Structure 1
Amino acid sequence: TLSVMNLLHLYEWIDIKGVFIFSCVFLLLSDYIRNKAPKNFPPGPWSLPFIGDLHHIENGRIHLQFSQFAEKYGKIFSLRILGSRIVVLDGYKLVKEVYLTHDDSLAGRPILPLFYDIVGDKGLVAATGYKWKQQRRFALSTLRNFGVGKKSLEPSISLECCILNEAVSNEQGRPFDPRSLLSNAVANVICVLVFGHRFEYSDNGFQSLLKNINEAVYLQGGFCAQLYNMFPRLMRQVPGPHQKIFTLWREVIDFVREKVNAHRVDYDPSNPRDYIDCFLREMENLKGDTAAGFDVEDLCFCTLDLFGAGTETTSTTLYWGLLYMVKYSEIQAKVQEEIDRVVGGSRQLSLSDKENMPYTNAVIHEIQRIGNIIPMNVARATVEDIKIGKYSIPKGTIVTGNLTSVLFDESEWETPHRFNPGHFLDAEGQFRRRDAFLPFSLGKRVCLGEQLARMELFIIFSSLLQRFTFSSPAGVEPSLDFKLGATHAPQPYELCAVPR
């Protein structure tokens, strides 16, 4: 009896072991078949089953790793993160060639589970195809009608500069972190365009809105957010920072929805006050065209996209800008000398002053270049099979032009890793454009807020340096350390602003 029992236990153990081995082999085989690289696909690092190239990625410095991968595998290389294949383009010439040659083919957006669970296919960033074309056309024409890129918007920016300068002055030369004040000013310019009015810096709802957006954008670049994109079914069920992202965005959307509902109460189609009013009018005009996406939910997410994109990137650029002025006081002094000579100490700066201020303009461009706010570009997806060089890229593949490799391309910039306004000055000291200056990307998916950002950066940055000299607190050495979330931002810092 004992031997029979032992035999049964042995068979049972062999059976369990066999099932386990079979399951492992089956899973490995199915992963290999499902994630096998397409024929003639760009090379990349050695991938592990299930996780792909995740073991190669260092959190917080992936934009720097891209350049290392390019050196090893070539300027067109690929990564596999779980089930998603990503093709990365390295260097200005390649990025420009591919984005312009395959502009229509690269107009799609990848479906990232975290982003999709927040917005679906609504808004300006996530939309694709016909809907995206209609929404982008409408947004561009509406913003243009409200003065973006024109002199008519200057009074709103100038008013915000005056209020910002007063807030900085109230710090009375004491050390302070300028991040929130810069965000207030930049956000209020877009608020005038989308909501029809600005907010006081003391407004609790406004401050909560900015805080929520800033925190959500940072968390979206974190490790838990990336895990969510890899294991969405699992991560939906477990607690963690990724759950806070949803809470933050829900609060932001509720704020926007409240503003939209308030607009609908006293909306006059013959006298639109802002973007929201114009969208409501377009909803009436295009009632029969449901594919264009002109409904209340899309309005909320389009408004959020304009607000988020128009605030975070520009305020982060200004945040880098003041840090670089503190770090390089001799450059700050040269900017101030030019401002004093062209504008003086009392007159409000105007956009028309830019053509007479080549050095200041060059400094702002260099801040954008070396600040590298969106280092890996906003990813695109192929809407059809394409060829890039000798490689075949199937429909649905994520493609990104590495903007870090463009803005720091050693074949395009004389001193790419050094802050050097001379990159944008000719031999006579006049401003010169550089082809490889692509902080807003290029092609049909180029940043929608480029014109607005250019206006804000020049007027706000120059106005601050007209009124104040910025320096580090006593005994503190300014640091250029960064933190990488959805944007590439400086680590929090303090400075002193002394009235001139």
Structure 2
Amino acid sequence: MELLTLLLGLLVSAVLCFYAWSSMYRPQNLPPGPIPLPVLGNLLQLKTGQMVDSLQQMHQKYGDVYTLYLGPRRVVVLCGYEAVKEALVDQGEDFGIRGLLPVVDLYFQGHGVVFSNGDRWKQMRRFSIMTLRSFGMGKRSIEEKIKEEAQCLVEEFRKTNGAPFSPVFHFSQVAANIICSVIFGNRYGYDDADFRRLMQIIDDIFRSMSSFWGQLFDIFDIVMKHLPGPHHRTRRFLHELEEFVKERIEADKKTLNLDSPRHMIDSFLIRMEEEKNNPSTHFTLKNLLKNTVVMFIAGTEGTSITLRHAFLLLLKHPEVKRKVQEEIDRVIGQHRVPEPEDRSSMPYTQAVIHEIQRFANVLPMNLPHATTNDTEYRGFTIPKGTDVFPVLTSILNDSKYFPDPYTFDPNRFLDENGSFKKNEAFMVFSAGIRVCPGEGLARLEVFLFVITLLQHFDITSPVAPEDLDISPQMVGFSNVPPLYEISFIPR
């Protein structure tokens, strides 16, 4: 009897495996790709903890568009500027919904501007863009707040007396204070212990998402979400950040003036009050929490990581740093506060910042998209709901648009007359209807922070330029530069 039971069990398992495999890889008009195994999909063809490198290798073998299976999950991967533009821009509505990112989906649950879809996404995006444009400290613009924060950072760096230090937390804090002024209406001191803890939490979130366990969760989420382990750290960190947001919301409720919003939270609370009798409203406490958390993270970490890359690359290439300082001295001088309008008069600096952002490649995988319907694309049929990975690394290193892409060369953004030259493949912030809503703010922050610091300081490293390692510390959800020390010496 036991033998019969065992044989029946093996038969049922074989049948289930067959149907699982056949449903994954039944003949369809899908893009080509490696043949998946039952249950595992193409896991064995992915390097442990090196998803981006694996996708790049498959790009070389299968072309700009191919099909991949992360366990039982089907993904269509898009590589190169032309393939991504055709999908996200030319067929933006077909590829316009957010795909699965299991490592954070358990927390966001389809809420907030980044991870929502449909009408909820439209309303959250509209609200977020309006907030980014509208709020300053009192009646001051965002530009004024960035300039003020840059001067605060100058004074903070003067306190180091030219001694070498790691700038990680300073760059996180300066970026976080800008988004805090929009969301909460105030900034925090650099020595505030609670604020420094928040910066550590954000760093922990990105490290956890990029880790082997975070990537394994994204592949086998159906099983992994039920198992204990380090893959749940991301969600715990996100809840810890949410507790801070809750405290701010409760404090703001006590002083809320429905006729005079002071910041984003006030505006959201007012909309909640206006729509409290609307059963289909998306202005709910849950959306407020999730939207605030994701804006805080995105507004902090993207700019912070870019600044860390920027000064490491300037240490590595002192000749580039000298040319930027020469342009600063010629256009602005060493005493006038830099203005956003100075960008048009500083083509070399603009070129350097664009090359920093391209080379840094902060979000190499991009965020996943998905098809809204059965979509015809380049002669293939991509079924509705299929996750799509538009890989930004493949665009920013596309040799057709960026010759010798692994070399840091600001001159690629200058024409023969030394004027700034745009490049259509510069998709650092993605493209189409899901392009980063904070792109304009991020560009302005990086420009003003970089030139303000180089206006007041020269920079040196305890390590010789030729010995500095500029390769990313980890490649996964985000590209983070290796830790380094830098001295800011008053000019």
Contact 1:313-1:487 within 8 A present in 2 as well = no
By how many angstroms is 1:65 displaced? 2.7
By how many angstroms is 1:147 displaced? 5.7
Structure 2 equivalent of residue 83 of structure 1: 72
Residue deviations 1:366-411, cap 9 Å, x none?
0001111111111111111101101100001001211111111111
TM-score by length of 1: 0.93
Q: What does residue range 232-311 of structure 1 map to in structure 2 within 5 Å?
A: 232=221, 234-311=223-300
Q: What does residue range 397-408 of structure 1 map to in structure 2 within 5 Å?
A: 397-408=386-397
Contact 1:472-1:494 within 8 A present in 2 as well = yes
TM-score by length of 2: 0.95
Residue 143 of structure 1 aligns to which amino acid in structure 2? L
Kindly tell me: are residues 36 and 233 of structure 1, through their superposed partners in 2, closer, same or farther at Cα, counting changes over 3 Å? Answer: closer
Structure 2 equivalent of residue 184 of structure 1: 173
By how many angstroms is 1:81 displaced? 0.4
By how many angstroms is 1:240 displaced? 2.6
Q: Secondary structure at the match of 2:488?
A: strand
Residue deviations 1:346-385, cap 9 Å, x none?
2211111111111011100000011111111111111111
Residue deviations 1:246-294, cap 9 Å, x none?
2211110000111111111110121110111111111123334444410
Contact 2:103-2:214 within 8 A present in 1 as well = yes
Structure 2 equivalent of residue 5 of structure 1: none
Moved more, 136-145 or 188-197: 136-145
Kindly tell me: are residues 393 and 248 of structure 1, through their superposed partners in 2, closer, same or farther at Cα, counting changes over 3 Å? Answer: same
Structure 2 equivalent of residue 119 of structure 1: 108
Structure 2 equivalent of residue 4 of structure 1: none
Which of 469, 484, 489 is the aligned partner of 1:493? 484
Residue 478 of structure 1 aligns to which amino acid in structure 2? L
Residue 161 of structure 2 aligns to which amino acid in structure 1? Q
Residue deviations 1:304-349, cap 9 Å, x none?
1111111111111111000000000000000001001111112211
Separation in structure 2 between the aligned mates of residue 480 and residue 60 of structure 1, nearest angstrom: 19
Q: Is 1:63 aligned with 2:52?
A: yes
Contact 2:52-2:475 within 8 A present in 1 as well = no
Separation in structure 1 between the aligned mates of residue 278 and residue 61 of structure 2, nearest angstrom: 49
Aligned residues: 488
Q: Is 1:481 aligned with 2:480?
A: no
By how many angstroms is 1:229 displaced? 3.4
Q: Secondary structure at the match of 2:480?
A: strand
Q: Secondary structure at the match of 1:439?
A: coil
Contact 2:392-2:430 within 8 A present in 1 as well = yes
By how many angstroms is 1:466 displaced? 1.0
Q: Secondary structure at the match of 2:489?
A: strand
Q: Secondary structure at the match of 1:111?
A: coil
Kindly tell me: are residues 89 and 230 of structure 1, through their superposed partners in 2, closer, same or farther at Cα, counting changes over 3 Å? Answer: closer
Contact 1:151-1:351 within 8 A present in 2 as well = no
Separation in structure 1 between the aligned mates of residue 133 and residue 262 of structure 2, nearest angstrom: 14
Residue 323 of structure 1 aligns to which amino acid in structure 2? L
Kindly tell me: are residues 289 and 132 of structure 1, through their superposed partners in 2, closer, same or farther at Cα, counting changes over 3 Å? Answer: farther
Q: Which runs of 5 or more structure 1 residues have no equivalent in the other structure?
A: 1-10
Residue 481 of structure 1 aligns to which amino acid in structure 2? S
What fraction of aligned residue pairs are identical, expressed as a percent? 38
Separation in structure 1 between the aligned mates of residue 230 and residue 279 of structure 2, nearest angstrom: 36
Kindly tell me: are residues 132 and 256 of structure 1, through their superposed partners in 2, closer, same or farther at Cα, counting changes over 3 Å? Answer: same
Structure 1 equivalent of residue 339 of structure 2: 350
Structure 2 equivalent of residue 164 of structure 1: 153
Separation in structure 2 between the aligned mates of residue 176 and residue 38 of structure 1, nearest angstrom: 58
Separation in structure 2 between the aligned mates of residue 481 and residue 233 of structure 1, nearest angstrom: 34
Residue deviations 1:208-251, cap 9 Å, x none?
11111110121012221233334446534544322322221111
By how many angstroms is 1:485 displaced? 4.0
Computed over aligned residues only, the root mean square deviation of the Cα atoms, in angstroms, reads: 2.0
Residue 432 of structure 2 aligns to which amino acid in structure 1? G
Structure 1 equivalent of residue 87 of structure 2: 98
Residue 28 of structure 2 aligns to which amino acid in structure 1? K
Residue deviations 1:83-124, cap 9 Å, x none?
211111111112111112221122212234332211111111
Query: Which structure has the bigger radius of gyration?
Result: 1
Contact 1:131-1:291 within 8 A present in 2 as well = no
Structure 1 equivalent of residue 124 of structure 2: 135
Structure 2 equivalent of residue 229 of structure 1: 218
Residue deviations 1:418-437, cap 9 Å, x none?
11111111111111111111
Q: Secondary structure at the match of 1:488?
A: coil
By how many angstroms is 1:166 displaced? 1.8
By how many angstroms is 1:176 displaced? 1.1
Q: Secondary structure at the match of 1:415?
A: coil
Separation in structure 1 between the aligned mates of residue 218 and residue 429 of structure 2, nearest angstrom: 25
By how many angstroms is 1:36 displaced? 2.4
Q: Which runs of 5 or more structure 2 residues have no equivalent in the other structure?
A: none
By how many angstroms is 1:439 displaced? 0.3
Contact 1:130-1:292 within 8 A present in 2 as well = no
Kindly tell me: are residues 147 and 262 of structure 1, through their superposed partners in 2, closer, same or farther at Cα, counting changes over 3 Å? Answer: closer
Structure 2 equivalent of residue 338 of structure 1: 327
Separation in structure 2 between the aligned mates of residue 196 and residue 294 of structure 1, nearest angstrom: 20
Contact 1:406-1:438 within 8 A present in 2 as well = yes
Contact 2:364-2:476 within 8 A present in 1 as well = no
Structure 2 equivalent of residue 383 of structure 1: 372
Contact 1:406-1:436 within 8 A present in 2 as well = yes
Kindly tell me: are residues 89 and 207 of structure 1, through their superposed partners in 2, closer, same or farther at Cα, counting changes over 3 Å? Answer: same
